[in-house]
């Protein structure tokens, strides 16, 4: 199997705590940033900036930011959950619901006031040695791209490069989404002195997970999403199935 395909299959989201006693080596972090540097971006506009946060005091301040959980998130998250491995295997998309608190997997259970206002990832931020804050510069955009769709895709390429580089170095990565929306985004920008014209694209925790990933991982089969020459025309299967660990 091609090495890069193996890295892609091994990549996963490390949602649990990291070992706070293990710091990232400077050379490893440099390689991760080098991978971000070479991410493909529309029109080579390189529409991103990165803030590397490794100061424990600042990480504590970011962890203290409250991030209310939206009703829309809870509803949409619930629709994407499976409640058994058999169900997940059948759907081939989504994730197991057991990793979420009860109010996110049972519509009849209401979140407590503390759950409603606390940051989903706040308590984990202080566990990791490094937090990368990736910023989007809308002024650097590809021409004639409605809504800067190509620019947004470019940020996904930056994310993937960071993730794969981290994984290849044995470093755990977890995308933190709770800082993207207000009021959390405003507080984060204030703490890090981020200029007003820049938007938080995503943040990611880097470190060393204290436990191996749990739960079944699934993907659709190639023939489930691939067509031959015309949409709806089945793509010929026959390639050897690859098991994703």
Give the number of other Cβ atoms within 10 Å of residue 167's Cβ: 17
Q: Can you give the pLDDT at residue 116?
A: 63
**DSSP letter at 152?**
H
**Best-predicted range by mean pLDDT (67-71, 114-118, 129-133):** 129-133
Which tokens sit at 187? 């507080």
Q: 38-42, 73-77, 188-192, 199-203 — which is least confidently predicted?
A: 73-77
Q: Which residues pair with 196 in a beta bridge?
A: none
Q: 181 or 26, which is more confident? A: 26
Q: pLDDT tens, 10-27? A: 888 888 888 888 999 999
- pLDDT at residue 242 greater than cutoff 50: no
pLDDT at 195 > cutoff 50: yes
Which residues, at least 6 apart from 127, have a Cβ–Cβ distance to it below 8 Å? 17, 18, 19, 20, 205, 207
Q: Between residues 100 and 169, which one has the greater pLDDT?
A: 169
Hey, what domains does the chain have and what are their CATH numbers? 14-67+120-220 (3.40.109.10), 69-118 (no CATH)
Mean pLDDT (whole number) for 159-186: 92
175, containing H or E segment:
strand 172-176
Selected residue with higher pLDDT from 180 and 202? 202
Taking a C-beta distance cutoff of 8 angstroms, is the pair 20, 127 a contact? Answer: yes
What is the percent of the chain where pLDDT is above 90? 55
Average pLDDT on 226-231 reads: 95
Using the predicted structure, report yes or no on whether residue 1 has a pLDDT greater than 80: no
Rounded to an integer, what distance in angstroms lies between the CA atom of residue 154 and that of residue 149?
9
Average confidence (pLDDT) over 119-136:
83
Angle, CA of 107, 111 and 112, to the nearest 5°: 155
Contact yes or no for 168/107 (Cβ under 8 A):
no
How confident is the prediction for the chain on average, in pLDDT? Answer: 87
């Amino acid at each position: 199997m091609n090495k890069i395909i193996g890295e892609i299959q091994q990549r996963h989201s490390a949602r649990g705590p990291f070992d706070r006693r293990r710091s990232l080596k400077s050379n490893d972090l440099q390689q991760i940033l080098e991978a971000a540097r070479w991410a493909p971006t529309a029109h080579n506009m390189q529409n991103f900036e990165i803030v590397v946060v490794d100061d424990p005091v600042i990480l504590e301040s970011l962890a203290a930011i409250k991030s209310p959980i939206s009703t829309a998130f809870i509803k949409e998250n619930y629709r994407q959950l499976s409640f058994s491995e058999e169900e997940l295997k059948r759907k081939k998309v989504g994730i197991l619901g057991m990793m979420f608190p009860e109010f996110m997997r049972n519509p009849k259970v209401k979140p407590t006031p503390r759950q409603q206002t606390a940051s989903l990832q706040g308590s984990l931020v202080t566990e990791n040695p490094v937090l990368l804050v990736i910023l989007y510069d809308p002024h650097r955009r590809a021409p004639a791209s409605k809504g800067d769709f190509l620019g947004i895709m470019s940020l996904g390429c930056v994310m993937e490069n960071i993730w794969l580089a981290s994984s290849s170095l044995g470093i755990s990565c977890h995308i933190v989404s709770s800082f993207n929306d207000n009021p959390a985004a405003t507080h984060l920008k204030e703490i890090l002195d981020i200029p007003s014209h820049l938007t938080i694209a995503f943040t990611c925790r880097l470190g060393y997970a204290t436990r191996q990933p749990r739960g079944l991982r699934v993907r659709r089969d190639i023939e489930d999403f691939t067509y031959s020459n015309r949409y709806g025309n089945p793509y010929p299967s026959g390639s050897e199935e690859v098991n994703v660990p």
